[in-house]
Amino acid sequence: MSTPKKRRPLKYYNILIHRYLGYFFAGTTIVYAISGFAVNHMEDWNPNYSIAHTKQEIQPFASDEEVTQAEGEALFQQFAIKESFSPDNVFYPEEGVIEILATAQDKITIRTEAQTWQADLAQTRRRPALHLFNFLHLNSAKKLWTLYADIYAIALLLLAVTGLWMKKGKKGLLGEAGIWALAGILAPLVLVWMYYLKG
Amino acid sequence: MFKLFSLALSLSLYLSTSALAADKVFGERPNLKDTVKISQILDAPEKYLGKVIQVEGIVMDVCPMRGCWMKVKSDRKKENLFIKVNDGEMVFPMSARGKNTVIKGKLVKQVMPVKDVIEVEKARAEKKGEKFDPKSVKGPRTSYMFKPIGVVIQDK
């Protein structure tokens, strides 16, 4: 004689969903949190690339409107650039400025106004890990990442909702949990009033 | 189980071959034909305003912060076309610099008010350590930029 299956309480499934979604999306949450912190401060720094500058005085070219192969090669040698010089990658963006791309990451900007020309090699490099984190967080990949990010957004919603129902009674939503949740809503509301409604 | 593994393997192979494809495409893929020379556009910009056209050139520079703009070299010296998207719409990679691009989109006119032109010129003069006279600004500044619908960055 088989015993009838005992029906599990809703709380069991609530904890189950919260726990396993938490485990599964822990990595993604860390990536989004680090990237969020990095892009929040975009006005103060570049979260994707670091740019190192090396400045040198150079001998003026024969013309500030045409860089010859020999001049380009000599310049690359001065900056210890191993790539070969290509006249196709020379730009004249404004009067008194020449830009030369050695590679996609290395650009030399030459100011030609003074008697002695100033050359600035800007070496742009991806920030390790952060560039990738921002690429994912800002959904630059689009396509299938959009789907994954949508699933993650739903998971976050479920985590929030199931989190609210973790405890019952005094420690539940009508008690301690409710006070914390309310405080968490009120704190950003003050900022909404300061910057959105008042502004 | 084997079927599931084969499916996962096929998907991974598809994704990795897509990632290794030489050209990078953003938005609608341009047809690579019927391009208008940048110099032609800059000579008579009003003629092209609002029309869907295609331009081609070497990428001079890319926005290092958000990848939201590119400067494309004109076929004529000392000229370039400013390509601008809304943040996040397309993210141009730094690796695009020095590569050939074909862009489908519309030319947009922008008029900067005198007040803003003065501010820009003042900042530029300060950067260069030069004196600046606001009276030297004669009026609003008109500029043109290109709003892309589709971009292909070709591997050399």
A79-95 pLDDT tens trace: 999 999 999 999 998 88
Q: Tell me the average pLDDT across A148-158.
A: 98
pLDDT greater than 60 at residue A191: yes
Contacts of A92 in chain B (CB under 8 A): 77-78
Helix, strand counts (H, E) of chain B: 4, 6
> What is the distance between the alpha carbons of residues B52 and B104, in angstroms, rounded to a whole number?
7
A32-82 pLDDT tens trace: 999 999 999 999 999 999 999 999 999 999 999 999 999 999 999 999 999
Q: pTM above the 0.90 mark?
A: no
Catalogue the long-range contacts made by A58-62 (C-beta closer than 8 Å, 24 or more residues apart): A58/A110, A58/A116, A58/A117, A58/A118, A58/A119, A59/A117, A60/A112, A60/A115, A60/A116, A60/A117, A61/A117
**Chain A window 158-197: which residues touch B at a Cβ cutoff of 8 Å?**
none
Contacts of B61 in chain A (CB under 8 A): 99, 107
Chunk chain B into consecutive blocks of 10 residues (it has 156) and report each block's average pLDDT, rounded to whole numbers. 57 52 87 91 95 96 94 93 93 94 96 93 86 91 96 89
Q: Is the CB of B64 inside 8 Å of chain A's CB atoms? A: yes
Cβ of A124 within 8 Å of Cβ of B60? The answer is no
Q: Is the CB of B111 inside 8 Å of chain A's CB atoms? A: no
Cβ of B97 within 8 Å of Cβ of A107? The answer is yes
Q: CA of A73: how far to CAs of A53, A100, B26, in Å?
A: 20, 11, 34
